[in-house]
Amino acid sequence: MSDTFRAALPGALRTHLSEPSSPALPDAPGAADLRARAAELDAADELAAFRERFTLPEGVVYLDGNSLGALSVGVRDRLAHVASHEWGELLIRSWDESGWWTAPERIGDKIAPLIGAAAGQVVVGDSTSVNLFKALVAAARLAAPGRTRLLVDAATFPTDGYIAQSAARMTGLTVTPVDPAQAAQAMDEDTAVVLLNHVDYRTGRLHDLAGLTAAARAAGAITVWDLCHSAGALPVGVDAHAVDFAVGCTYKYLNGGPGSPAYLYIAERHQAGFDSPLPGWTGHADPFGMTPAYEAAPGATRGRVGTPDILSMLALESALDVWDGVSIEAVRDKSLALTDFFLECVAAYVPQGKVESVTPAEHELRGSQITLRTENAREIMRELISRGVIGDFRPPDVLRFGFTPLYVGFADAERAARTLGHIFG
């Protein structure tokens, strides 16, 4: 344990943590019952077997899948095959013979069911930020003439805000920050585009995608949703709720690997009018014609820009195989049960007043993470990680715990809360 950590903590807690035996402190009242319940819940869990589809370090509780998902077991062999055979032997022939060229659309169709989209509306490639830029500018170009406002989630992930400002400058719009809870009331005849996050990355709060999309449609505005913290954790229903555009990363709950390519959803009704601000050659109707004039490809393919990043894209394709046979509704049910149980364990193990949950208790308002506010959050998280419980920290005072139901179990939730309780003593 670092001297910095000890110095930052109150005296009694600092003394307690100086003892090497602190992880083995006597259990809090009710601990045996909570561990027994965790075992029962894990035994009854229909998704428990899916944990075997992931490579996880022995003895580690991994609650940071909302930042980087775990490695799925097939990815290593897939990458080895790509490197040794598809690249090493077939060389450039793999663009055709190994299906490299069609990977962005093919993998998009694997993601589509996880966000509630029909085939042909999702294309994979580039980063979330780049795809967001494409979607916002295209949405502004599709908006009714004369509208001037771009509503943006006031608590959005910072990059989304930066991109929105740039897109607004390009298209003559004015960015208006809005609390998602008040967004419906803020939409009017001057609203061109609405950019919202499905789940708040800090608090884990789930916003009303269906209701807010309906409100935007009634106001004549076009919606762009950021699904980074919801896709793969809960049902989204972009088609059912008539979402216009959506973007998302694949390295969180979709477990695609660090820096894996993002995706862009273009509703079929908007594809013919989708005017990308980045008209790259792979989004051309005749990419190998090398003509000086740009003609967009049909369908979601027009969302492509440059040469696909094949190694990370094919790693993602393999990672998505873990979803075979998985119901996203079952994932959501387990997510809510896990987060409920974790909060119950935190209440039992952590002294009252030491942490405060800022994630809504109501299921309809909760994503798949729990955010706790506490003093000395950075050092508390460092100590949790040193004891084998991996979450993450967000300044100034936030501990985030992401629950990925395909590989996190109830015993993991209980151990994480118990370890947190030991740290506070």
Which residue, chain included where needed, has tokens 């050659």?
281
Annotated catalytic residue 342: no
Smallest CA-to-CA distance from 217 within 245, 176, 175, 177 is with: 245
H or E stretch covering 15 = helix 11-17
Contact predicate 263/238, CB 8 Å:
no
Strand order in the sheet with 392-394: 356-357, 369-373, 398-402, 392-394
Helix (H, G, I), strand (E, B) or coil at 141: helix
Annotated catalytic residue 424: no
Phi first, then psi, for residue 422 (nearest 5°) are -60, -35
In this structure, what DSSP letter does residue 18 have? T
Which listed residue (45, 126, 160, 226) is catalytic? 226
Which listed residue (251, 342, 349, 424) is catalytic? 251
385-389: long-range contacts (C-beta < 8 A, 24 or more apart)? 386/1, 387/23, 387/419, 387/422, 387/423, 388/59, 388/60, 388/61, 388/419, 389/60, 389/61, 389/63, 389/415, 389/416, 389/419, 389/420
Give the angle 284-290-295 at the CA atoms, nearest 5°. 30
Which listed residue (147, 149, 205, 400) is catalytic? 400
Which listed residue (50, 54, 62, 157) is catalytic? 157
Annotated catalytic residue 157: yes
In this structure, what DSSP letter does residue 366 have? B
In order, the DSSP letters of 183-209 are HHHH--TTEEEEEEESB-TTT-BBP-H
Annotated catalytic residue 332: no
89 CA to centre of own chain? 36
In this structure, what DSSP letter does residue 129 have? H
Which listed residue (147, 252, 366, 387) is catalytic? 252
Annotated catalytic residue 245: no
- For the annotated catalytic residues, the residue numbers are 157, 226, 251-252, 400
